[in-house]
């Protein structure tokens, strides 16, 4: 099918840059479509040929506050004149402290009384959580769920457990980690759908109850695994089992955090508290920044036990403070909830019109559309997903993949209803094209 589906090719300058890229950039980046970025503003991106695109990707859930955000630009410019890097590993500095204070104000209990470790990327924030738990508990194992993505450095990769083999293949052996199924309501991995919660919780408790597991790492809404929203009782059950067996709960908020699901942390939607939160992507307003926030009892490690050169970087912290203040002042969580609910309603209607759409799901502006070849067998429609992504790019809409055959919608949280409609109109026309090509 994909061979019969012809996407609009990128412009001449884009083709030239892609050629140059191929010569010098390593091949491990999994690019799905041919978009060459030139500049961004608000909800829009321009490619090197001057074509404007509506952004439903936000640089993988990074640009929550929109591109070229004036508050962040102003803060970074002001800091540029004072100093870019201090060396927070060896000396104190005002901005990283101010950033941590601002971040803690956004955190739910008990993390609002916690302490922060600073780094530069999602995988580093998970790595820090892993080491913190290991140092505190000395337990040999950690646990994560099927479909989880926690990053690509070796500690985080040991926790990553998506269906796709490409991230882990060839990197064995991993650090000791146990896994059990995540309650995915569409695929019901632990029994028939109504028993997804109990079935998965049973297997989960069996995996952690022998006293050998120090922490459970969970994305309350799975990201790379396919934008999967579990039932509330599942997340609550995980917390209860952790309490029963003295296991810490680490909430990986790298993708779902920073108001993307309506609340600052996605775990808050489930009425569940975390012992650790890993935050990155949107927290720096587009500048690399990450934070591992934990309850004080997990922050007893000695000086030098964990540190880095760039954590607390002054430009990143200036950007982070501005981004956090903008998110709160502009009530981006409320907008994410309102526009997300509206988009889900429209997508449900699309699902009724297009057989290829097996499932539509989401929380706030973290929305997944899973494509299947057959609604009964639920066989993933991988080629169809690729066709929609490249067709959309040609029509001026940037989308991303997630999981095996899910289209991911994660626009900047500043999106208006009109922009949401424009994007969904383009998406619908892609499903129409796809029907014609099948």
Ligand X SMILES: Cc1ncc(COP(=O)(O)O)c(C=O)c1O
**In angstroms, rounded to a whole number, what is the distance separating the alpha carbons of residues 267 and 250?**
10
Contact of 280 with 85, CB cutoff 8 Å = no
Q: How distant, in Å, are the alpha carbons of 131, 244, 276, 299 from that of 306?
A: 8, 29, 16, 11
Q: CB-wise, 357 or 400, nearer to ligand X?
A: 400
Closer to ligand X by CB, 238 or 387: give it: 238
- Considering Cα of 300, then 301, then 304, then 306, what sign does the dihedral take? negative
Verify binding: residue 126, ligand X, rule CB under 6 A.
yes
CA 362 to chain centre: 13
123 in contact with ligand X (CB under 6 A) = yes
Does the N-terminal peptide bond of residue 98 adopt cis geometry, omega within 30 degrees of 0? no
CB closer to ligand X out of 199 and 288 = 288
Residues 418-437 that bind ligand X (CB under 6 A): none
The residue assigned the tokens 């290991």 is: 134
Look at the alpha carbons of 78, 80, 83, 86 in this order and tell me if their dihedral is positive or negative.
positive
How many residues bind ligand X (CB under 6 A)? The answer is 15
Distance CA 435, CA 312 (A): 50
* Binding range to ligand X, per CB under 6 A, among 91-99, 167-175, 248-256, 320-328: 248-256
- Measured from the CB atom, the residue of 123 and 184 that comes closer to ligand X is 123
> Could you say which of 63, 69, 79, 121 contacts ligand X (CB under 6 A)?
121
- Answer yes or no whether residue 64 interacts with ligand X by CB under 6 A: no
Q: How far is the CB of 249 from ligand X (least distance, A)?
A: 15
Half-sphere exposure of 364 (CA within 13 A, CB side): 30
Binding track over 141-160 against ligand X, x by CB under 6 A:
--------xxx---------
Query: Which span sits near ligand X by CB under 6 A: 76-84, 120-128, 202-210, 427-435?
Result: 120-128
- Per CB under 6 A, 408 contacts ligand X: no
Report, in Å, the least distance between residue 139 CB and ligand X: 21
Nearer to ligand X, 14 or 156 (CB): 156
Tell whether residue 219 is a contact of ligand X (CB under 6 A).
Answer: yes
CA angle 57, 46, 73 (to 5 degrees): 80
Contact 416, 343 (CB under 8 A): no
Q: Give residues in contact with ligand X (CB under 6 A).
A: 60, 121-123, 126, 149-151, 219, 223-224, 252, 254-255, 280
């Amino acid at each position: 099918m994909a061979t019969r589906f012809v996407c609009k090719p990128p412009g001449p300058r884009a083709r030239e840059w892609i050629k140059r890229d191929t010569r010098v950039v390593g091949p491990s980046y999994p690019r799905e479509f041919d978009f060459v970025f030139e500049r961004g503003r608000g909800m829009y991106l321009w490619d090197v040929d001057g074509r404007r695109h509506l952004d439903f990707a936000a640089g993988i859930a990074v640009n929550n506050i929109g591109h070229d955000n004036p508050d962040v630009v102003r803060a970074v410019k002001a800091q540029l004149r004072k100093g870019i890097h201090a060396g927070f590993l060896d000396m104190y500095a005002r901005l990283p402290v101010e950033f941590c204070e601002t971040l803690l104000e956004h955190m739910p209990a008990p993390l609002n009384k916690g302490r922060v470790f600073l780094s530069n990327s999602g995988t580093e924030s998970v790595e820090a959580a892993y080491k913190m738990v290991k140092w505190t508990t000395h337990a040999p194992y950690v646990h994560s769920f099927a479909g989880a993505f926690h990053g690509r450095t070796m500690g985080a990769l040991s926790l990553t457990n998506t269906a796709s083999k490409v991230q882990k293949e060839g990197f064995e052996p991993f650090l000791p980690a146990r896994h059990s199924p995540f309650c995915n309501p569409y695929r019901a991995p632990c029994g028939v759908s109504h028993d997804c919660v109990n079935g998965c919780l049973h297997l989960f408790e069996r995996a952690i109850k022998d006293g050998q597991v120090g922490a459970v790492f969970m994305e309350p809404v799975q990201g790379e695994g396919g934008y999967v929203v579990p039932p509330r009782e599942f997340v609550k059950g995980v917390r209860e089992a952790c309490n029963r067996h003295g296991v810490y709960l680490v909430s990986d908020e790298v993708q779902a955090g920073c108001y993307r699901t309506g609340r600052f942390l996605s775990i808050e939607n489930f009425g569940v508290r975390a012992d650790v939160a890993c935050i990155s992507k949107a927290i720096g307003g587009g500048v690399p920044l990450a934070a591992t926030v934990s309850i004080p009892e997990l922050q007893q490690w000695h000086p030098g036990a964990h540190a880095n050169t760039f954590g607390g970087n002054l430009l990143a912290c200036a950007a982070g403070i501005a981004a956090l203040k903008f998110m709160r002042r502009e009530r981006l969580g409320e907008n994410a909830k309102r526009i997300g609910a509206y988009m889900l309603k429209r997508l449900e209607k699309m699902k009724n019109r297009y057989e290829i759409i097996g499932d539509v799901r989401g929380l706030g502006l973290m929305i997944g559309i899973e494509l299947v070849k057959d609604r009964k067998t639920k066989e993933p429609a991988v080629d169809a997903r690729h066709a929609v992504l490249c067709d959309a790019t040609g029509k001026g809409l940037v989308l991303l993949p997630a999981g095996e055959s899910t289209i991911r919608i994660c626009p900047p949280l500043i999106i208006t209803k009109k922009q949401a409609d424009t994007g969904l109109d383009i998406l619908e026309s892609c499903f129409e094209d796809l029907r014609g090509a099948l």
